Amino acid sequence: MKNYRTKIISNQEISPGYFRMKILAPGFGDKAHPGQFIMFRVQRSLPPLLRRPFGIFRTGFLPADCDGLPPKEFVEIVYKVVGSGTTIMAELHEGDRVELLGPLGNGFDCKSCQGEKILVGGGIGLVPLYMLAGELVANGCSVRLLMGGRTRDDIFAVTEFERLGVETYISTDDGSLGEEGLVTQVLSRKLQKFPGAQVFACGPMPMLRAVHDICVANKTPLQVSLEESMACGVGACLGCVVKGAGHTEKNPSYLCTCKVGPVFKSQYLDWSSLGQGDNDCGGCSG
Amino acid sequence: MKELTKKAVKRPNLAVEIAGIQLRNPVMPASGTFGYGEEYAPFLDLEKIGAIVTKGLSLNPKAGNPTPRIAETVSGMLNAIGLQNVGIEAFIKYKMPFLRTVNTPVIANFFGNTLEEYGEVARRLNDIPEVAGAELNISCPNVKQGGIIFGTDPRAASEVVALVRKNLQKPLIVKLTPNVTDITVVARAVEEAGADAISCINTITGMSVDVHTRKPRIANRTGGLSGPAIRPIAVRMVHQVVQTVAVPVIGIGGIVRPMDALEFLIVGAKAVQVGTANFVDPTAMLSIIEGIEEFCIEEGIDDIHQLIGSLKL
């Protein structure tokens, strides 16, 4: 991990309210694991004061130009405009100077490769699943991705996921794309069909909670990627903690989302307390 | 040619001494924003900063407050972490081995829930030879016991400082809260009780409400405000304290850029602590140190002491 003082390669709206930003980051791709994140400094001046955490969508490089220079390595994030920080981000252009810290945190454990893998992503929660899907496919796993959203605007990068060799299933609350209903209904069906599957999920807290309940009922191993408001991203401020399983008033257990997470095995978390706070927006420190 | 000119410029002396602790420069992190040092080792050379100030330590591990614990505000942030820390035993066992490898003075920030606990932690710190000094926190606004209770009442402050002074065989810095009517009263009390230095200010109690949920934005309802938003208040209070006490003062509050640190030095702080800025830019302290050095060169200052307390009134 490192602090990059760098610049934007591109910043485009890919669906109403959703943007993807490519940022120049030499050497970043070699270090990044699926499920890790970056702390992004929106602009050099203040405000906004704090950096914003964003899941890594993918890393890659721009093929060498005829200028004789080596390929340009980048990190790509996808973000949803939800607050003051992301509003400023949406206005940024190619060449604008930005800073990012990363790759940070512990990502998905995707080493074990038995049985089916089912990925569940809700809206902006699809972001960390892209690199994960790529890695799982490369490991020879059979990967199914359940994409959920309120409307079709919340579903993005379908073709890119499919190009990885992932089977995709789409559901929206209003039926504007794919099946009408919740992504968790699709999950229940899939788990009946593939009882030995392993599940990976990222999305709004109510979705994660439902996914957790379904996985517990099916005795299915689940890893979830969480999002919390963060100040430092490196385990120093202790602002982003979540309660761990077995947390009590007397023997409290707080886990840093930035350092221990953002990906947790779901059995390590105290689900009775998750999402009780006001950070329950599934995608925004803004 | 450029190389030559660079060499020709005499580098100013930035070294200062705080209560017997020799600092290579006057810039150190504020407790609670820098973990136990190790967290920031990947981003900056810890041997370039003046000192490492640890997260506040208590006798027993402390879990901290419910979440959400932080909220950004205009040019600042509110936090109510609740002094979560590993406790003094785990600090010695798990955090000191790394800190021993770093050639920079370690200042252990600490607190207690009770007067006795303050005294006990102070005693335990004597057992760690590599801890150069201790910073006594009597100013955390976010916990029910300890912290600010001792910092807002001059008599209680005096009592806890006297006890710690008796138990601690190391330089003692006392960190003051701004959440008082007159900070000079507490400053005088802790100086008389035996503080070797004073650091100020801790965060200012604040509150922020989410208008949609109509709930406080942090679970503790109120939190401590830090960041550039509080800097003018901090500069004013440091100025007042410097005018009041004879012991050295460490200035804290919203330092982000070199010129912010210079403000504190000019009003008379002998050193500064950088807090929230570490979150914004993990290399902030290095830029601040470089900026102070450049300023000295530009102004023809060859020793930082010529700048400290040079306020013209």
Residues A154-171 pLDDT 10s: 999 999 999 999 999 999
Name the residue of chain A whose CA is nearest to B33's CA. A237
Interface probe for B, chosen from A84, A238, A243, A273 (most Cβ of B below 10 Å), is A238
What is the pLDDT, as a whole number, of residue B143?
A: 62
Going by the DSSP 8-state scheme, the letter that residue A85 receives in this structure is H
Beta-carbon pairs below 8 A across chains A and B = 111
Whether residue A149 contacts residue A175, with contact meaning beta carbons closer than 8 Å, is answered with: no
For residue B9, pLDDT over 80 is answered with no
Give chain A's largest Cα–Cα span: 65
Residues of chain B with Cβ-Cβ distance to A241 below 8 Å are 64, 67, 69, 84
Taking residue B213's Cβ as centre, other Cβ atoms within 10 Å add up to 10
Q: Under an 8 A CB cutoff, do B63 and A254 touch?
A: yes
Instruction: Name the more confident of B140 and A262.
Output: A262
> How far separated are the first and last CA of chain A, in Å rounded?
23
Whole-angstrom distance, CA of residue B303 vs CA of residue B12: 5
The strand pairing partners of A23, in sequence order, are A8, A75
Residue B140: active-site member: yes
Least confident of B110-124, B144-158, B298-312: B144-158
What is the pLDDT, as a whole number, of residue B144?
A: 59
Q: With bands split at pLDDT 50, 70 and 90, how would you rate the model's confidence at B145?
A: low
**Average pLDDT of chain B?**
93
Q: What angle do CA A46, A50, A52 make, to 5 degrees?
A: 120
Interface probe for B, chosen from A234, A242, A247, A269 (most Cβ of B below 10 Å), is A234
- Main-chain dihedrals φ then ψ at residue B292, nearest 5 degrees: -65, -45
Q: What angle do CA B245, B249, B253 make, to 5 degrees?
A: 125
The reply to whether B226 touches chain A by the CB within 8 Å rule is: no
Whole-angstrom distance, CA of residue A226 vs CA of residue A259: 12
Whether residue A1 contacts residue A103, with contact meaning beta carbons closer than 8 Å, is answered with: yes
Whole-angstrom distance, CA of residue A227 vs CA of residue A62: 30
Place of tokens 């330089």: B171
Whole-angstrom distance, CA of residue B260 vs CA of residue B210: 31
What is the pLDDT, as a whole number, of residue A275?
A: 67
What is the pLDDT, as a whole number, of residue B147?
A: 62
> How far separated are the first and last CA of chain B, in Å rounded?
42
Whether residue A161 contacts residue A131, with contact meaning beta carbons closer than 8 Å, is answered with: no
Instruction: Name the more confident of A71 and B144.
Output: A71
Name residues whose C-beta falls within 8 Å of residue B144's C-beta, 6 or more positions apart in sequence: none
- Main-chain dihedrals φ then ψ at residue A151, nearest 5 degrees: -135, 180
| Nearest in space to B42 (alpha carbons), one of B282, B281, B288 | B282
- Please compute, for residue B169, the number of CA atoms within 13 A of its CA located in the half-sphere on the CB side: 7
3-state secondary structure of B311: coil
Span A236-265, mean pLDDT? 88
Whether residue B19 contacts residue B247, with contact meaning beta carbons closer than 8 Å, is answered with: yes
ipTM: 0.86
From the CA of B84, how many Å to the nearest CA of chain A? Answer: 7
For chain B, what is the total number of helices (H) and then of strands (E)? Answer: 11, 16
For residue A148, pLDDT over 90 is answered with yes
Question: If you write DSSP's letter for every residue of B130-175 in order, what string do you get?
Answer: TEEEEEEE---TT-SSSTHHHHHSHHHHHHHHHHHHHH--S-EEEE
Instruction: Name the more confident of A65 and B40.
Output: B40
Q: Under an 8 A CB cutoff, do B74 and A51 touch?
A: no
Helix axes B284-299, B258-267, angle to 10 degrees: 60
Name residues whose C-beta falls within 8 Å of residue A241's C-beta, 6 or more positions apart in sequence: A228, A254, A255, A256, A257, B64, B67, B69, B84
Q: Amino acid letter at B239?
A: H
Nearest to A238 among B68, B75, B81 (CB): B81
Q: Amino acid letter at B124?
A: R
Task: Report CA dihedral (A81, A87, A89, A94) to the nearest 10 degrees.
Answer: 100
Q: With bands split at pLDDT 50, 70 and 90, how would you rate the model's confidence at B3?
A: low
Token representation of residue B130: 């590599």
Span B251-275, mean pLDDT? 98
Span B126-153, mean pLDDT? 82
Place of tokens 């807090």: B275
Is the sign of the CA dihedral A234, A238, A243, A249 positive or negative? positive
Q: Under an 8 A CB cutoff, do A278 and B215 touch?
A: yes
Q: Under an 8 A CB cutoff, do A254 and B68 touch?
A: no
Nearest to A279 among B68, B227, B279 (CB): B68
For residue A60, pLDDT over 70 is answered with yes
| Nearest in space to A72 (alpha carbons), one of A7, A21, A14, A127 | A7
Span B148-154, mean pLDDT? 83
Bridge-based pairing state of the strands A116-122 and A198-202: parallel
CA B81 to chain centre: 16
For residue A47, pLDDT over 80 is answered with no
Q: Under an 8 A CB cutoff, do A49 and B70 touch?
A: no
What is the pLDDT, as a whole number, of residue A281?
A: 37
Span A8-16, mean pLDDT? 94
Residues of chain B with Cβ-Cβ distance to A285 below 8 Å are 72
Going by the DSSP 8-state scheme, the letter that residue B56 receives in this structure is P
Whether residue B273 contacts residue B199, with contact meaning beta carbons closer than 8 Å, is answered with: yes
Taking 3-state DSSP, the helix, strand and coil percentages for chain B, each rounded to the nearest 5, stand at 35, 20, 45
Report the residue count for chain A: 286
What is the pLDDT, as a whole number, of residue A113?
A: 67
CATH 3.90.550.10 fits B30-222+232-248, yes or no: no
pTM of the model: 0.90
Token representation of residue B190: 């802790």
From the CA of B227, how many Å to the nearest CA of chain A? Answer: 8
Residues of chain B with Cβ-Cβ distance to A237 below 8 Å are 32-33, 70, 79, 81, 279
Whole-angstrom distance, CA of residue B79 vs CA of residue A238: 10
For residue A68, pLDDT over 80 is answered with no
For chain B, percent of residues with pLDDT exceeding 70: 95
Domain ranges, ordered by start, for chain B: 30-222+232-248
Of B81, B86, B136, B140, the active-site residue reads B140
Token representation of residue A92: 């940024």
pLDDT tens-digit map of A174-213: 999 999 999 999 999 999 998 889 999 999 999 999 999 9
The reply to whether A185 touches chain B by the CB within 8 Å rule is: no
pLDDT tens-digit map of B175-199: 999 999 999 999 999 999 999 999 9
Q: With bands split at pLDDT 50, 70 and 90, how would you rate the model's confidence at B167?
A: very high
Q: Amino acid letter at B113?
A: N
Span A7-31, mean pLDDT? 94
Bridge-based pairing state of the strands A2-15 and A97-104: antiparallel
Whole-angstrom distance, CA of residue B153 vs CA of residue B170: 25
Task: Report CA dihedral (B280, B174, B121, B203) to the nearest 10 degrees.
Answer: -40
What is the pLDDT, as a whole number, of residue A14?
A: 94
Q: With bands split at pLDDT 50, 70 and 90, how would you rate the model's confidence at B114?
A: confident
**Average pLDDT of chain A?**
89
Span A121-126, mean pLDDT? 94
pLDDT tens-digit map of B210-254: 999 999 999 999 999 999 999 999 999 999 999 999 999 999 999
Least confident of A41-45, B12-16, B63-67, B149-153: A41-45
Going by the DSSP 8-state scheme, the letter that residue A86 receives in this structure is H
Interface probe for A, chosen from B83, B279, B285 (most Cβ of A below 10 Å), is B279
